[in-house]
Chain A
Amino acid sequence: MGKNVAGRGSPLAAEELLEIYFLEMRSALLETAAAFDRLERAAGGERVMEDPRVKKLLAGCELITAAGADRAERFLLLFSDGGQTVASAAEE
């Protein structure tokens, strides 16, 4: 059983999950690498690498290399506007 908060965790062991997901993970990362290359090669490539969205994507790449089994949540938080309360958000 993997670590979990309240659920019953994964019936499969990590090794078995790796069998299922290895190629998918490899492919998702490869597509991301190739997409960065595509941007960088095109006209304006150097400039676009400074675009805040690209910076965020690069920060996301760094984030997934850090330890801790809450990468997906941290990734989404990175791409979220800050968590204000009702009152302060209504001011905008």
Chain B
Amino acid sequence: MKVIEPHIHMIARTTQDYERMVRMHTVACCEPAFWAGYDRTSPEAFYDYFVHISEFEPTRAAQYLIQHYCWVCINPKEADDLVLSREVISFIPEFLAKPTVLGLGEIGLNLNTRNEMTIFAEQVELALQHGQLIWIHTPHLKDKLRGTRMMVEYLVGHGGVDPEKVAFDHCEEHTLRMIRDAGFWAAMTIYPTTKNSPARVVDALEIYGLDHLMVDASGDWGPSDPGTIHDAIFEMRKRGHPEEDVETVFYNNPCYFLGQSGKFRPRPLREREEAWAGK
């Protein structure tokens, strides 16, 4: 079974992780732009970062036959600085034209401040102007509920946003329903101490069904592991789910969402209505 990793920060990982991923049948991975673990000191640092994830990572991944895609944006952790953010936003269109850039992401909120919300809204507009997909980072821990609600309310109230083209990431039990009720895609990140676990991810699939849901491992510079998406695959099989359903969650669903960008090459193996109905 082929696997797609919808959210991973390969810039922070060793080549050995690509090697492990290909052994576990990962055929494509997507890298949203995020915080580096420290604040960048200039817009140029973001420019170089975007070059890295849009040019260098695809070549590193290709050695392992993995297609590497990315998203660009000013991330929520550095978006409180309006001047810096706007300088970064000014050169984002140049990167949106590149062959492996899927859209704006991971935009969103961190501490749910007014400035973060302003920059979130400006990047949503940029995505709309350029007909791009949007990948959203929801805040951590105690801030997640409120931040998610702020963004859902904003996007629904906006009126011009097609929810099919927006994915919220790092969703958990208390945020899934509001995201799904509004018609957006939801991704669950396996990052055991602060986000989700394989067992809870499978719980959500049983409660909500397979539609509009994705799972990711979120390997980054913190304690994390690209192997955890494969732990979730094992968990879903162990819990007695049919193989076609496992394939829908870990391969077809990312294809349905990401394939809306003409640049994403993997193709789903079934029509989505049929896959989601479990026939």
Contacts and interface: CB of A to CB of B under 8 A. Distances in A.
Interface of A: 2, 4-12, 16-17, 20-21, 24, 70, 72-73, 76-77, 79-86, 89-90, 92
A7 B177 CA distance: 12
Contacts, number: 79
B143 A73 contact: no
Given A76-B174, A77-B174, A85-B153, A20 B238 contact: yes
B145 interface: yes
B131 interface: no
28 contacts: A4-B207, A5-B207, A6-B207, A6-B208, A7-B206, A8-B209, A10-B239, A10-B240, A11-B241, A11-B242, A17-B239, A20-B239, A24-B199, A70-B173, A72-B203, A76-B173, A77-B145, A77-B174, A79-B141, A79-B142, A80-B142, A80-B146, A81-B145, A83-B149, A84-B149, A85-B149, A89-B150, A92-B112
A90 B121 CA distance: 13
B145 A80 contact: yes
Q: Tell me what chain B mostly uses at the interface: helix, strand, loop, or mixed.
A: helix
Given A5-B207, A76-B173, A89-B150, A81 B117 contact: no
Given A81-B146, A86-B150, A10 B208 contact: no
Nearest to B239: A12
B23 interface: no
Interface string B166-208: 0000001110000000000000000000000001100101111
A47 B278 CA distance: 54
Q: Choose among B143, B144, B206, B208 the residue with the greatest number of A CB atoms under 10 Å from its CB.
A: B206
A65 to B, nearest CB: 18
Contacts of A8: 206, 209, 278
Contact of B206 (A2, A24, A85): A2
Nearest to B210: A7
Contacts of A21: 199
Q: Tell me what chain A mostly uses at the interface: helix, strand, loop, or mixed.
A: loop
Contacts of A17: 239
A7 B205 contact: yes
B208 A5 contact: yes
Please list the 6 inter-chain residue pairs (A to B) with the smallest Cβ-Cβ separation, ordered nearest first: A11-B240, A80-B145, A73-B173, A76-B174, A7-B209, A90-B114
Interface in B225-273: 238-242
Q: Choose among B154, B173, B207, B278 the residue with the greatest number of A CB atoms under 10 Å from its CB.
A: B207
Contacts of A79: 141-142
B160 to A, nearest CB: 17
Contacts of A83: 145-146, 149
Contact of B142 (A2, A81, A85, A90): A81
Nearest to A84: B146
Q: Choose among B143, B209, B210 the residue with the greatest number of A CB atoms under 10 Å from its CB.
A: B209
Contacts of B209: 6-8
A84 to B, nearest CB: 6
A31 to B, nearest CB: 13
A10 B199 CA distance: 12
